[in-house]
Amino acid sequence: MNSYNKIDSSIQHYANLMMGVPLVTQFKGILSNAQMNIFFQSFLFFLLFKIGMKQYSCSALYIGVDGESQQVTIISNSGSLLIKTVPNDQQMVYLPAGSMDTILYFGKEITENQEMSTLDLENPETQIKVSFLLSQKDSQELQNQLRGKQVFYRSSNPRILAQIAPGIQLIQTQDKVMIEKIATFPKTMQDSASISRLGQLKQEADILSLLKEHEHQNIIKLEEIVTDNEYVSIILENCQGGDLLKLLNKKTNKIDIPLVMVNLLQGLKHLHDLNIVHRDIKLQNILFLDTQDGNTLKIADFGLSCLKQQIPYYNPRCGTPGYTAPEVFAQQCIYDEKVDIYSAGIILYNMLTLKNPFGNSKNMQDIIKRNISGLYDENHLASVKINNPLGYDLLIKMLQKDARNRPSARECLAHPFLNQENIIIEDDENSIKNQSQKGIQTTKRVKI
């Protein structure tokens, strides 16, 4: 079943979400009228710079609307784009990584019998447009540097192979099959559904853009951010092996539990080392390139993810009931990356028992109440405690109600359970699919 957006759909929250995504900040002394959050811009730029992403600079020629021209320097650093005039070094354009309000058009032009490349930057809101001429080599390198970190204009539509879910489709480009997640631009400020979807997609693009230069084998890869002025899309690698929920429900597959947990925790450790909190770890968001190889595991769906410092400001009460750490429900709602450890513990419970720890009630409020209490069903763990004491020990540690007593991802990876002979879920009549109402069911992301 499809997850629903947990982002608050109010107009004010939409404005808050879009703050920190500035327009072209300066063009010949003209400042844009878009909302800006300078602290967030500076912090994100500083963070990206500190973690060591690549820089590229080249010379170009600014072409004014009246035909005037001026030499400029274009600098790509950490996925941001800075354009300065030469020789006075005046800032003309600045776009931080993950900016989604300005569209980049890469093209070609013949000038004086020489084929040059063009770069146009256009902001649909302010109608500001600037154009530059540069060499083909520099254009190609800038595209490589900025792909997946800035919004590119889509010049041609891909072939749609299948609709996976609302706003998600399988597409065929020239060289590969990929996943496209789409959000249409709202026609009016009363279009709360489009506003909510756009806000979530923007947040996912922000996080995945940050991760693009720090890729990890267990994190889904962002390929591009594209638009055609009617919608914006993020293009992701295709995990054709499906998700962990489907894998658990298949009788034909065996699951190496420690191997799955090692790859999941390695991905979480990578996120946490970068101060990123996922906030929606669940079976449906754990994907595989190959169902036969647990090392192809990918953590996906970063729509609720944020930097640790942003937790109080980006929809703090979020997640999927049945997987959410109890502290998220608390009145003060103060938490950190340990919420992901709790959710990963729920996944371990699912794999060890083929059950849901808080039951399968059709009443979502019942599941939420049990989730808040942190009192998972221990009856299903009786055989696990006897037959798999190390797995039981790790599970109990990960599901501690008090986050201070939960291990970090690094500490989990050092646990003896993940450093022993493989524990396999055998094919038998106890598969989740065959347990009907007693088995694991798909849960929806809902408002908590």
Domain edges within the chain: 11-153, 159-237, 242-438
CATH 3.30.200.20 fits 159-237, yes or no: yes
279, 319 contact by CB (below 8 A): yes
pLDDT of residue 309: 95
Q: Classify 242-438 by CATH class.
A: mainly alpha
CA atoms within 13 A on the CB side of 38: 1
pLDDT of residue 443: 54
pLDDT of residue 194: 87
432, 353 contact by CB (below 8 A): no
pLDDT of residue 127: 84
pLDDT of residue 97: 83
CATH assignment of 11-153?
A: 2.30.29.30
4, 364 contact by CB (below 8 A): no
pTM of the predicted model, to two decimals? 0.79
pLDDT in 10s for each residue of the chain, 448 residues: 333 333 233 323 322 333 333 323 333 333 333 333 433 443 443 444 344 447 899 999 999 888 889 999 999 988 899 999 999 999 999 998 877 789 999 998 766 667 789 999 998 878 889 999 999 999 999 999 999 889 999 877 889 999 998 999 999 987 889 999 999 988 888 888 888 888 889 889 989 988 987 899 999 999 999 998 788 999 999 999 999 999 998 866 688 999 999 999 999 999 999 999 999 999 999 999 998 899 999 999 999 999 999 999 988 999 999 999 999 999 889 999 999 999 999 999 999 999 999 988 788 889 999 999 999 999 999 999 999 999 999 999 999 999 999 999 999 999 999 987 656 655 444 444 333 334 455 555 544 5
